[in-house]
Amino acid sequence: MPEFNAAGAKLYVLSYDEVDALADFKEAHGATFTMLSDPNSEVIGSFGILNTTISEDDHPWYGIPYPGVYVTDADGMIVEKFFENNFTVRPGPEQLLAAVKGEDVQLAEKRSDYQGVSVEIEFEGDSLPVGITRQIVARFSVPEGMHLYEGPVPEGLIDASIQLDGQLEGIVAYTPITPETIPMTLTADGHTLQVYEGNVVLRLPIAQNGRAIEKDEEGRWVSIAGKVQWQACDDEKCGTPEEQSFSFRVPAAFTVMADMGPGEGRVPSMNGAEHFKKMTDRHGTAS
Amino acid sequence: MQIERDTRGVELGPNQYEDAEGYIAPLPAGFGPRSNPLGEFPTGPGIGQRLPDVVALNSDGKSVDVHSDRDGKPVVLVFTRSAVW
């Protein structure tokens, strides 16, 4: 939370829970963000993100959203959003802060050898708990007048991308976050491709599913490996395809889980069972 | 739009069900709270659009209008399934 305040952003968390459940949660966890109650799923419905795979009579599950996050700028315009099919995975705070702050990139100087592109690869975060995404960030420094390709590309060209090692067990990649592209038609064969201009920042959210954890006397670890690949071109010709490998070993950490039962990583009690019973009853035959 | 439910997965043992991405949970994929959409699903307003109005009660029971409450600041708005379970 201090990081969100420092970034000048306000954090709101909305769910279909009742007000008193949110109050208990806030107290149990010392939460300082604003929690919003939408017990009839009106806001969720107005956003069009009600989980309709759950039938209306399936209490207490009916009414939940497809979970996700919207990030706006100071004018309230949406600048980024995070949704994945699997609710098990959710964006980590590093990812949200990166979206709030945006990218501040400077153009590199024009060079004539087509090899002027450099890339810095970072694992953004200090741990990788189960189901919480962190990003692998590739920051390309691209000389003026040159561009990189967004996929898909025709055979013979290489699009700029971050790829995990195919042998990697337990690490799952999610929807890449990429800058806007502009269309460019190749003079040689008339193909129109989407290209990134200027300095390019690619982000690949990844999470681990619990199978990636290695234990030793110092703790629980996750290893991540892969490569960033690209090919830089100007209006006339292209440089050779290039790639740069990366590998990171970070603490696996623990995922905070709800308090409905005992287990590793559970958080302090907030009368979860009691609130749950109320939820089961509230829209059911009892009402 | 009819959204399909993702029921892919395998039973590993009692209360141990693995989904298509390798996550293990006590419920089978596609059951109750473990209902994920398969393929395309709606994710609401898009990038570049204004965040729709959000008016809801906070944990003190007071009404909050996000666009006025944010006081000219950027917003991170999280839609989560539940704070209870």
- A284 confidence band (pLDDT: 50, 70, 90): low
- B71 confidence band (pLDDT: 50, 70, 90): very high
ipTM, interface predicted TM-score of the complex? 0.92
Domain co-membership, A57 together with A168: no
Lowest mean pLDDT segment, chosen from A42-56, A63-77, A186-200, B1-15: A186-200
Domain co-membership, A223 together with A143: yes
CATH number, position A176? 2.60.40.1250
Residue A11 is predicted with a pLDDT of: 95
> pLDDT tens-digit profile of A39-67?
999 999 999 999 999 988 887 889 999 99
Share of chain A above pLDDT 90, in %: 46
Structure tokens at A202: 């690619």
Q: Helices marked H in chain A — which ranges? A: 2-6, 19-29, 42-47, 93-101, 272-282
B49 vs A contacts (CB less than 8 Å): 77-78
B62 reaches A (C-beta below 8 A): no
CATH number, position A32? 3.40.30.10
Residue A286 is predicted with a pLDDT of: 46
Task: Give the count of Cβ contacts less than 8 A between chain A and B.
Answer: 232
For the stretch B2-5, contacts whose Cβ atoms lie closer than 8 Å and that sit 24 or more positions apart, written own/partner, are B3/A52, B3/A53, B3/B37, B3/B38, B3/B40, B3/B41, B3/B42, B4/A53, B4/B37, B4/B38, B4/B39, B5/A53, B5/B30, B5/B35, B5/B36, B5/B37, B5/B38
Asked if A275 and A24 count as a contact pair (C-beta separation under 8 A), the reply is yes
**pLDDT beyond 60 at B10:** yes
For A156, the domain range is: 118-251
**Domain tally for chain A?**
2
B40 vs A contacts (CB less than 8 Å): none
Domain co-membership, A130 together with A97: no
Q: Tell me if A70 and B33 make a contact (CB, 8 A cut-off).
A: no
- The residue of B2, B59, B71 whose CB has the most chain A CBs within 10 angstroms, and thus the best one to mutate to test that interface, is B59
Instruction: Work out the average pLDDT over A88-114.
Output: 73
Lowest mean pLDDT segment, chosen from A137-141, A204-208, A272-276, B5-9: A272-276
**Residue at A98 is within a domain:** yes
Give the Å distances, CA to CA, from A107 to A102, A118, A195.
Answer: 16, 12, 16
Domain co-membership, A92 together with A139: no
Domain co-membership, A31 together with A154: no
Q: Tell me if A25 and B59 make a contact (CB, 8 A cut-off).
A: yes
Angle at Cα A26 formed by Cα A25 and Cα A31, nearest 5°? 125
- A3 confidence band (pLDDT: 50, 70, 90): confident
B63 reaches A (C-beta below 8 A): no
A194 reaches B (C-beta below 8 A): no
**pLDDT beyond 50 at A100:** yes
**What distance in Å separates residue A237's CA from the closest CA in chain B?**
33
Domain co-membership, A161 together with A236: yes
Tokens 């769910």 correspond to A15
Q: Tell me if A64 and B6 make a contact (CB, 8 A cut-off).
A: no
Residue B28, phi then psi, degrees to nearest 5: -65, 150
Domain co-membership, A133 together with A9: no
Q: Helices marked H in A181-244 — which ranges? A: none
Greatest CA separation for chain A: 75
B77 vs A contacts (CB less than 8 Å): 12, 14, 69-72
